[in-house]
Structure formats: C-alpha cells, structure tokens
Amino acid sequence: MSYHPVVWSVKELADITKSRISNKYDSNIAVTGLTGKGKSTFFFKFFNKFPDFKIEDKLIYKRDEMIKLIRDFKHSYCWNDELISSANKRKFYDVEQIELLEILTKYRNHLNIVGGAVPIFFSLDKELLKLFGMHINIIDRGIGVVHLPREGRMFSDDLWDVKINSKLEEKWSAKIQKNPKFKIPYHKYTTFAGYVYFGAMTPKQEEYYEHLKSIKRGDKDIKDEQPQESFFDRVLRLLKEKKLDDKGLFLLCSYEGKKLSSVKVSLNRMLKDEGSNQTLKDLLKDTNNNSNTNILHNTTTTKELSSLEPPSHLSK
C-alpha cells in the first residue's frame, strides 16, 4: 500500500495559524534551510496571506526590534529574517537574549504571529525551541517539510524528538554515502506533518524585498566604518560610567572567554598607566543595597554589553 503524505498550500498553513490565534494560542514559526533555498520567499508568501501585514513595519533583523514588536503590539506580526543572530544557543548567557526569551514567554497572550528564518533549527537556544509551534525545513526551492512538536509530554522536554530523529538521520546519511541517489524519507520523522509547496517571488517583489533588506540590515550604515573599541577599552569606559558591577564584569569575561582574575589585573594596570588614583574596586558599581541597579535590569548597559563583537572562540 503506497503512502501519500499530506501536502499543504501556503494559504492553508496561514489559515491554520489564523485559527490558532482565534483560539487564543500564540504562533511562533521557524523556517530553516540552506542559503538560497527560499526561507525568505516562503515567509514573504506566508505573511502576505494576512491582509493587514505590512512588510515595511514587520520585517526586522535586530533583536531589540523583535523584542519591541512582540512586547508593544497585539494581534500583529514579526518577521525576523535572521533569527540566528538574535537567539543562537551559543549566546545563552547574552543578557539581551535572556530578555528575548522572557518577552516571548511573558507576552504570549499578545497573540502575535512570529516568524524566524535560521539555517539550522537546532542552532537556536534550547529554551527558544520550546516556544515554537511549527518548523518548516526548506529542502529545495519551493518545497518545505512541515514539522510539528510532540505535544502532551510530562516527563520529557524533547518536544522535537531530537534523539529519535537524529538516529534516523545517521542511518540515512550512511545510505547516502553508499548510494548518492538515495531519497530521504522525510515522512519517517516523528515530527513530520506534511509538505508545503510555494512559488517564487515576482521580479518586482524580490527587488522590493532586497531593497528593504539592505536598508533594515544597515548594509551601508556608516557606523560599520567606525573603529571598534577593544574589549578592555569598552570595559574601562563602562566602569568609569558606573554601569558595571561584579556580576556584569564576570558576564563580559565569560562572553569573551577571558579569565576574570587576569582581566582585573589588566584593568588596574590600565588605570595606573593613566595616572588615576582609583582602582578597579573603586569603579565597580555597588549593587548590594539597590537591586534596581543590577546590570541585568539596566537597559543601557545591557545594550552596551550586547554590542561587543563575538569572541573568536565562539565565531568559528
């Protein structure tokens, strides 16, 4: 007996999403796939099934913009075209990423439709994966595999059956090594929910999308041409501005893969070379008597920390 998997249209997936919203369920959708396969094309087609969607307002590339759209709007949309830069699992200690996870959880009742494009689904923060209700993997131009999480589990947080499905992929990989023409049976994934087919953008649509993308990513932003502060210069500035406490300094050292004790020695040496009478201890902000000044709740400082360039040991 032959197997005939479910085939969805983009409109049907949009209608299902509308139904979820009507039933007061949030709707977070991840679209994955290699560069050039059509992640953005799918989202363009998908979001345009909603008459009140305005790409000029809802297409974003920055984490703070994503947070704002989710927090400040209800029954609206957010299309993060480069979600990996906002929620990479390697940045689980990034204070702005922690804020994003909190916002997504806290404001689920705003019933926004949130879409994120990312090359590999499981490169996202583990806690973020739990908040997604649909994953569409683009396997070829115009073809996506629809995945849904395994619901109703009490004793396992592996909603996407990572262990089981990874074993399937190992078997398929071995078969491909022996036979390059082997066709992956996507329907055997435990999270498989069907296929979706979609067409390309029109030349005019693609031109407009690329225009918006260039503007919103800041490809020509003059700030990119400005010299970057070094790690120690940035930390010393934050200290002098009384924006850094012991916990914040520890976070920064962890992010950069630097030993806290060595950093403290270097900072004290820099202060001495400047001819300052102050020491690192004098500059560290005292948060013992005022919880409101804690670095995790200081928006200005949070943005300062998150703007640091990713350390080389994490960017490989």
For 164-189, the pLDDT digits (tens) are 999 999 999 999 999 999 999 999 99
More confidently predicted of 74 and 155: 74
Q: Are 272 and 236 in contact (CB under 8 A)?
A: no
Instruction: State which of 184-198, 207-221, 278-292, 297-311 shows the largest mean pLDDT.
Output: 184-198
The per-residue pLDDT for 89 is 52
The per-residue pLDDT for 261 is 85
More confidently predicted of 264 and 125: 264
Total domains in the fold of the chain? 2
More confidently predicted of 258 and 228: 258
Distances (CA, A) of 118 to 38, 92, 227: 11, 16, 29
Q: What is the pTM of this model?
A: 0.67
| 251 contacts: CB under 8 Å, gap ≥ 6 | 93, 95, 295, 305
| Same-domain check for residues 175 and 77 | yes
- Integer Cα distance of 129 and 86 in angstroms: 13
Q: Is the pLDDT of residue 59 over 90?
A: yes
More confidently predicted of 271 and 211: 211
Residue 302: band (very low, low, confident or very high) from pLDDT cuts 50, 70, 90: very low
Domain membership of residue 36 (yes or no) is yes
| Same-domain check for residues 118 and 246 | no
Question: Letter for the amino acid at 302?
Answer: T
The per-residue pLDDT for 256 is 75
Domain membership of residue 185 (yes or no) is yes
Give the rounded percent of residues in the chain with a pLDDT score beyond 70.
83
More confidently predicted of 47 and 265: 47
The per-residue pLDDT for 235 is 85
More confidently predicted of 303 and 106: 106
| Same-domain check for residues 78 and 206 | yes
| Same-domain check for residues 194 and 255 | no
**What rounded mean pLDDT belongs to the chain?**
84
Task: Return the half-sphere exposure (C-beta side, CA atoms, 13 A cut-off) of residue 81.
Answer: 22
Distances (CA, A) of 18 to 7, 56, 173, 212: 19, 21, 37, 26
- Integer Cα distance of 70 and 87 in angstroms: 15
- Integer Cα distance of 141 and 118 in angstroms: 16
Domain membership of residue 273 (yes or no) is yes
Starting at the earlier edge strand, list the strands of the sheet with 143-147: 7-9, 192-197, 143-147, 134-140, 27-32, 113-118, 77-80, 59-60
Domain membership of residue 304 (yes or no) is no
- Integer Cα distance of 96 and 102 in angstroms: 10
The residue out of 222, 255, 274 marking a domain boundary is 222
| Same-domain check for residues 212 and 236 | no
Residue 142, sorted as left (phi over 0), alpha (psi -120 to 50) or beta, turns out to be left
Compute how many other C-beta atoms are within 10 angstroms of the C-beta atom of residue 14. Answer: 19
More confidently predicted of 247 and 27: 27
Start-to-end CA span in the chain (Å):
47
The residue out of 222, 241, 258 marking a domain boundary is 222
- Integer Cα distance of 29 and 27 in angstroms: 6
| Same-domain check for residues 213 and 275 | no
Residue 52: which CATH number? 3.40.50.300
Expressed as residue numbers, the domain containing 43 is: 7-151+158-222
Lowest mean pLDDT, pick from 43-47, 54-58, 179-183, 258-262: 258-262
The per-residue pLDDT for 161 is 93
DSSP-assigned beta bridge partners for residue 9 = 197
- Integer Cα distance of 160 and 302 in angstroms: 32
